Amino acid sequence: MKIAVVGATGLVGREMLTVLAERGFGQEEVIAAASPKSVGKTVEFAGRQLTVVSVDDAIAARPQYAIFSAGAAASRQYAPLFVAAGTTVIDNSSAWRKDPAIPLVVPEINIDAAFQAIRQSNNQAIIIANPNCSTIQMVLALSALQREYGIRRLVISTYQSITGTGIKAVRQLEAEEKLESGKWKVESGILNTEHLTLNTSEMAYPYPIHRNLFPHGGDFQPDGYTTEEQKLVDETRKIFADPSIQITATVVRVPVVGGHSEAVNVELCCDYDLDDVRRLIADTPGVILYDDPAKNLYPMPILAHHRDEVWVGRLRRDFSQPNSLNLWVVADNIRKGAATNAVQIMEKLNSAVSH
């Protein structure tokens, strides 16, 4: 089998290569593709070095699958060209998620949406969208509750890792961690502190993130919500195939590297038994129920980092609203929130073809 990874030099692209090797694809022909400025560089894969090629060269190689993490603009430009060459694309950007003709897939929940799209295309190559990282972990944690009870409303507050922004954000945090003082000011495009001067062009965020957080993820929309918040609304409804779910969200960026955390208030369509909720969550593939407050056991990014599972804890009834409960969800946004989910989609498709 031949697999292309487009955006192979980025944070998620490198993790895709790692996950492919871990999940048994180390002997396959893997093509590392990226933008022109990265062509000729090398990336590690399964103990060997791959030379990065152009996206056009990757298309010409006609791989069976192309896994994208190159941004929405690159996906819009190149994904259709891969499909025209007979390559099925699994795209990690926002480019195709809202398109009703493109399946938006978390394999444990709705891989059938991908198979249905393939059948509708007469078994030709298609584009499959990978959901946003914050959406993936939440819907996987809630999937059994949606199936058993139905979900009426979700109120979500996310605490999102800087790795969701990319390597530029990681470098900004690392630079800021060298500070002895939190005093700062921005003057004439320069961030000045007592111990650090950083050009704003080098900053991923408009403010320091070290010892700070801000309710800003994505771009602000005219209605006051951000694009990251809107993704939680639109993608959850699409994955659960239920446009009636009422959803509101606040996204917060925090100085964490290991993963995203989410406080989720869930209103179910009927009353529930909390022990049954625990059983449903614990039995969900890919989910770890980690919930023993008496022993101070609850999910944290430090536990989820470099892991593929979604961790769930702090389960408790919401006494202020009928049929409602609260839970806390944590996952590594680069792994299950991006790279692992994409590779799992490819695994499911390839397994179906093999059989």
Both tokens of residue 22? 């871990």
| 305 flagged as catalytic | no
**Residues paired with residue 214 on neighbouring β-strands, in sequence order:** 253
Contact between 65 and 349 under an 8 Å Cβ cutoff? The reply is yes
What's the fold here for domain 134-333? Dihydrodipicolinate Reductase; domain 2 (3.30.360)
Q: Which residues pair with 42 in a beta bridge?
A: 51
- Tell me what pLDDT residue 354 has: 67
Active-site choice (133, 210, 269, 306): 133
Number of residues written out for the chain: 355
Least Cα distance to 314 among 300, 335, 303, 331 occurs for 300
Q: Is the pLDDT of residue 196 over 90?
A: no
Position 176 scores a pLDDT of: 81
Chain segment 333-346, per-residue pLDDT in tens: 999 999 999 999 99
pLDDT at residue 187 above 90? no
Q: How confident is the model over 218-257, as pLDDT tens digits?
A: 999 999 999 999 999 999 999 999 999 999 999 999 999 9
State the catalytic residue, choosing from 195, 210, 216, 260: 260
* Domain assignments of the chain as residue spans, ordered by start: 2-131+338-354, 134-333
Please give the CATH architecture assigned to the domain spanning 2-131+338-354.
3-Layer(aba) Sandwich (3.40)
User: Which amino acid appears at position 175 of this protein?
Assistant: A
For the chain, what is the mean pLDDT? 94
Top pLDDT among 241 and 195 is at 241
User: In whole angstroms, how far apart are CA 10 and each of 13, 164, 278?
Assistant: 5, 12, 37
Q: Please give the average per-residue pLDDT across 344-351, as a whole number.
A: 96
Q: Which two tokens stand for residue 177?
A: 């961690």
pLDDT at 47: 96
210 given a catalytic annotation:
no
Q: For 73-110, what is each residue's pLDDT tens digit?
A: 999 999 999 999 999 999 999 999 999 999 999 999 99
Average pLDDT, integer, range 303-328 = 98
Pairing label, strands 88-91, 197-199: unpaired
Please state, as a whole number, how many other Cβ atoms lie within 10 Å of the Cβ of residue 205: 18
